[in-house]
Each structure stands twice: as structure tokens, then as C-alpha cells.
């Protein structure tokens, strides 16, 4: 066992290996408030990567409705129950991680889904937390509530799947932190499936191997954002690279959201894998629930997000406008004079987006064509 520092927990923790951080770390930010659960991301990923034999049931990207959606069934609640009390003291996690709570002889506290648990990717879709009573009206947070949770592999800094594999068939790439299963070494023992707390490794019965989200690494290698990001209808996603807090750069879009403004938070940081997909929490959900999912900063993140909209915070709003604006990875950004700019690694401008979209009002009567216009939208 090695002692490693997990900045999301604010403390050292046990991890089964010495785990040097990659030269840079794949990361993404998802704004839960903008998702419409159209599942375009899910299908884009499926078409790209999981259309083969043995992959029929696989969704490396899925979008589930919380609180009743799960893929696979009960993936998080079953583990949370076994993990016991998850206490925070300020920003420091005092409970146990899945590595610290591992039963004797195992590297991580895990659960193994049954085959059938993967059969209901749409369960709970659009269901609210409680029945809507007559006469109820909408306030923030909502009394009955729900929100969409978009899930891919987190390409964790301390991957439980990697730790769990007795064949050492899983590796984390030093150049970008993407976590992959070596399809030649894998013998299908499925210990990675048991260990991954997010249940983002899946078994291919036709091949007898486990498979998982590959972070669209062939695209990332060419400076492009993954399929689920560029196809997103709601423009809720941004992929880039995250630094550790001590190396955070204000002009790195992911660092700005995660470290500088702290509006984007990891999912279930208490598991201890240091996941690298970050979420802007939903504004309509009670704090007790968002704190359980995103840690003790959830309430503050929602306040910052709402305040930015209320007060017209140009930098934060400008950066959010860059989500879904270009297929290329934005390494640096700038907001100036009503426009947000995204740049690649060499500083070349990739995209320029107005913070406020111009509105064109067309006259009711078109003189040139001598026709009346009807408002149909």
C-alpha cells in the first residue's frame, strides 16, 4: 500500500500502488442544468464504439435521471450503504474511501452487478423524487425534484478498476491520464467491474474480456474533443485537461471551473478514486442530495452559478458559452469585450463566441417580397 495525496479529499489516503500522476490529465465538465436527456451523446458513443458482438447492452456513456435512475441497477446506493458514514470536516473527508474500507484480501470495497442489473438503462427516466401534490408550485430548490446525470468513465487519478485487476491488464496513459483495458492481457476475471465504484467497466461475453470508455483517445491524440462532447445537443459538455490545485491556471477552462471558481465538482469524491469528470450541480435539487453526490462544496457551487447568471459575470458566462462551440480541445480561453475566445495549445484561436447572441427582429411586412411574415417560432 502506498500513501497518495487526493486533493478532492484534502488528505492522504491508501492506494494499492505508487501512482505517479500523468503528464496531463484528461478531464471534462458537465453542466447538469443544461441537459435535456436527449441521449444523443449515448447513441453517438454507441455508434462509435459499442456496435459489436457482446456489446449490445453496453452504454459507455449513459444519462440517468436521479434519484431513481441507475445503470446498472442501484450502482451507487448499494455501495454507499456498504461504505458507511461518509463524514466531511470542512473540505477534509474523514470517512473511509473504498480502498480503506476494503474487506480483507481485496483491494477495494466493491459490488458485483448481476447480469440483469444492466438491462434497464432507462429506469426511472423523468420520474420525480416524490408525488406532486395538488396546488404545489415551483420554488428553488423544487419540492419534488429530478435531474439528469451524465456518466462516462472518470479516467480516475487512482482508478479502482486498475487496482482491482489481478492480471495488471488495466493501465493509465502517462501522456493524458486516459485509463484503458489491454484487450490482449485481459482474461475476463471481471475484478475491475467489481472494483469500479462507478460501474463503468463492462463485460463482453462474446470475447470474454472487459471493455470500457476509452476517452475517445484517437480523437484526443489529434487535439479533438470526444464524440459525446461534440454531439451534445444541450452544449453542456467541455473536455480538456485538469491540473492539481497547486498548478491550476486561470486561463485553462477546466482549471477555472474546477479550481478557481469551484463551480464544477467531482461525482462521489468520497469513493477516493479522484474522478476527473466534474459536474456543475443542479440548482433545483435539495442540498442534502447534491452534497451526498458532489461533496461539501455543492451548495456553494450552486450559489456561484446562480449569482453569475444574476449579476452577469462575464468570465464565467463567457466560458460556459464555449461549451459545445468547437470540435477542438480548448487549452486556453479569454473573455473580452462581450466575446469568449478559445485557443489551442499553440495559442491559435479556435473559436470566438458572443456572450449575448444578437437578436434580429424582422418586420411583419416584407416590402421587397410584398409578403406578411407570421411568427411561427
Interface residues with ligand SF4 (CB under 6 A) are 35-41, 63, 148, 150, 153-156, 159-161, 179, 196, 198, 200-201, 212, 232-234, 236, 273
C-alpha cell at 66: 436521479
CB of 214 to ligand SF4, least distance (A): 10
Residue 224 vs 233, nearer CB to ligand SF4: 233
Of 67 and 343, which has the nearer Cβ to ligand SF4?
A: 67
* For ligand SF4, the closer CB: 207 or 233: 233
CB nearer ligand SF4, residue 70 or residue 343: 70
Minimum gap (Å) between residue 375 Cβ and ligand SF4: 27
Residue 183 φ/ψ, nearest 5 degrees: -70, -15
Whole-Å CA distances, 205 to 55, 198, 209, 307: 8, 20, 7, 49
Answer yes or no: are the C-beta atoms of 355 and 338 closer than 8 Å. Answer: yes
The secondary structure of residue 256, as a DSSP letter, is I
The closest alpha carbon to 8, from 97, 123, 85, 83, belongs to 97
Phi first, then psi, for residue 139 (nearest 5°) are: -130, 170
In the complex with ligand SF4, the residue whose CB is nearer, 187 or 307, is: 187
Least distance from ligand SF4 to the Cβ atom of residue 154, Å: 4
CB of 263 to ligand SF4, least distance (A): 17
In whole angstroms, how close is the CB of 192 to ligand SF4 at the nearest point?
Answer: 7
Name the minimum Å distance from CB 134 to ligand SF4: 31
Q: Which element (helix H / strand E) includes 319? A: helix 314-321
Cα–Cα distance, 7 to 91 (Å, whole number): 10
Buried b (16+ CB within 10 A) or exposed e, 282-304: bbbbeeebbbebbbbbbeebbeb
Cis peptide preceding 67, ω within 30 of 0? yes
Amino acid at each position: 500500500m502506498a500513501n497518495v495525496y487526493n486533493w478532492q479529499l484534502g488528505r492522504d489516503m491508501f492506494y494499492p500502488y505508487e501512482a505517479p500522476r500523468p503528464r496531463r490529465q484528461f478531464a471534462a465538465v458537465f453542466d447538469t442544468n443544461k441537459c435535456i436527456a436527449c441521449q444523443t451523446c449515448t447513441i453517438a458513443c454507441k455508434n462509435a464504439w459499442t456496435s459489436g458482438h457482446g456489446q449490445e447492452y453496453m452504454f459507455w456513456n449513459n444519462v440517468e435521471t436521479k434519484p431513481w435512475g441507475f445503470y446498472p441497477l442501484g450502482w451507487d446506493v448499494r455501495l454507499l450503504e456498504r461504505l458507511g458514514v461518509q463524514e466531511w470536516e470542512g473540505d477534509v473527508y474523514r470517512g473511509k474511501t473504498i480502498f480503506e474500507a476494503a474487506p480483507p484480501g481485496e483491494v477495494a470495497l466493491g459490488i458485483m452487478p448481476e447480469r440483469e442489473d444492466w438491462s434497464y438503462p432507462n429506469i426511472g427516466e423523468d420520474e420525480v423524487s416524490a408525488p406532486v401534490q395538488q396546488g404545489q408550485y415551483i420554488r428553488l430548490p423544487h419540492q419534488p425534484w429530478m435531474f439528469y446525470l451524465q456518466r462516462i468513465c472518470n479516467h480516475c487519478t487512482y482508478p479502482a478498476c486498475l487496482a482491482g485487476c489481478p492480471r495488471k491488464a488495466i493501465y493509465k496513459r502517462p501522456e493524458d491520464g486516459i485509463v484503458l483495458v489491454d484487450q490482449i492481457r485481459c482474461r475476463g476475471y471481471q475484478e475491475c467491474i467489481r472494483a469500479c465504484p462507478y460501474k463503468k467497466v463492462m463485460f463482453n461475453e462474446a470475447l470474454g474480456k472487459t471493455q470500457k470508455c476509452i476517452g475517445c483517445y484517437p480523437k484526443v491524440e489529434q487535439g479533438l474533443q470526444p464524440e459525446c462532447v461534440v454531439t451534445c445537443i444541450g452544449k453542456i459538455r467541455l473536455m480538456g485537461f485538469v491540473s492539481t490545485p497547486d498548478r491550476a491556471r486561470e486561463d485553462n477552462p477546466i482549471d477555472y471551473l474546477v479550481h478557481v471558481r469551484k463551480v464544477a465538482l467531482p461525482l462521489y469524491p468520497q469513493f477516493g478514486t479522484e474522478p476527473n469528470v466534474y459536474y456543475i450541480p443542479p440548482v433545483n435539487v435539495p442540498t442534502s442530495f447534491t452534497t451526498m453526490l458532489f461533496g461539501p462544496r455543492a451548495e456553494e457551487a450552486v450559489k456561484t452559478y446562480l449569482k453569475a447568471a444574476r449579476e452577469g459575470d462575464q468570465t464565467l458566462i463567457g466560458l460556459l458559452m464555449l461549451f459545445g462551440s468547437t470540435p477542438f480541445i480548448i487549452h486556453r480561453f479569454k473573455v473580452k469585450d462581450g466575446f469568449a475566445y478559445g485557443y489551442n495549445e499553440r495559442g491559435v484561436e479556435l473559436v470566438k463566441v458572443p456572450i449575448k447572441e444578437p437578436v434580429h427582429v424582422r418586420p411583419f411586412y416584407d416590402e421587397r417580397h410584398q409578403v406578411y411574415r407570421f411568427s411561427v417560432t
